[in-house]
Chain A
Amino acid sequence: MRDNTRPLSPHLQVYRPQITSILSILHRMTGVTLALAALLLTYWLASAAYGPEAFGRAQVLLESWFGRLVLFGFTFSLFYHMCNGIRHLGWDMLWGFDMPRLRITGAIVVITSLSLTVLSWLMAYGHVGKL
């Protein structure tokens, strides 16, 4: 019988937070967040399949301030997970494991994902303005 009282990994709370560990857990957190985004995408597509009324209800929900807040969070989660995912693919090819590169690529990931998030929303609002 397995002893469930023994310590099990990962011990997030016993280590001093560092840029490497914070970005690492953020990758997981954004990944789980994106799973929720996938459910919302399914609801959105299904509402369009149901017809104009259902789609209209979904659009009202998504266009509310709360809906926009959630979508903004999903946008950042996607760009962060994507950028840090590219960083992961670099590690998979044994590139970028040394501390200086870990720090610089980490900083690039944070700046790029924030920029792409803001840029996307500016473009979206710009597009609405044109309508």
Chain B
Amino acid sequence: MSTTLDRRPGGSGRRWRLGLGYDERSAAILVFPVVAVLLVVAAYPILYSFWVSLHDIVLTRPLRRPFVGFDNYLRIFDDERFWLAVGRTTFYTVVTVAVTTILAVLVALLLNEAFPGQRILAALLLVPWATPSVVNGLMWKWIYDPTYGLLNALLVQLGLLERYRAWLGDPDLTLLLIANAAIWKQMPLAALLLIVTMKAIPDDLYRAAKVDGANVFQRFVHVTLPALRPGLMLVLVYETMISIRHFDLFLIMTQGGPGDASFTLSWLIYVETFRSLRFGTGAAMSYVLAMATFLLSWAVIRWLGKRL
């Protein structure tokens, strides 16, 4: 049987076997490197980490790595640290997403209006967003510092605080203070996404509402909010996915402490994987977190899609 290819444009060659012409084959060959890279850097690690999660792998015991099936997953759910971390993560995510979204809507409403300095304010808004996460964490850690922190200095000078206090050392406040740092950084992007959506709302709708006698609040509820649905959905899903997996701020500001006050799921995974070097349970926890993020995002989309 001949294997000679027909090189004519649109020629038959092996088309009868592969169903591909010269253009398709060229495209496939050119796309192949990208697909190969994606397979190597994305698909393979994802599948391999799942394989790891089915083994009892402790790096400091390299000679034993038994296959344990789903035991690592069962072990996680028996671990009280896991449920503690779930509680902390839920609280942190709810606070961060709710406050970020509310503030973003308010800022977007403000910047959607024309007033002197509006452009400068919009530009300044992007500064926190452009600040690298590590810098953001360090900056807020210094602001909260118990000996030279700006927050202490400000409150003492205003007479609202008698003496300097260890803000991050207070387990009742730790998560809220970290959430504040996260909100400061994330809110600008959320506001930007909402402004873009707001700009797309036709002025006719507002004029019609005014003619119907709607006040500012009614126009917001009946015109702005429904039109914001795509933007809000994007903000909620994005912020939820980011917040639930937040790690950098916890590493820089509290290392999961004080005690277990900021022991979130991401921190637990870090401790399990990179400090205890238990890669099997660490991988299993990562899968649980990924699934939780996926399900939560799906629920938000479904819920918001029906409500708005």
The answer to whether A and B assemble together is no
Give the interface of B toward A (CB within 8 A). Answer: none
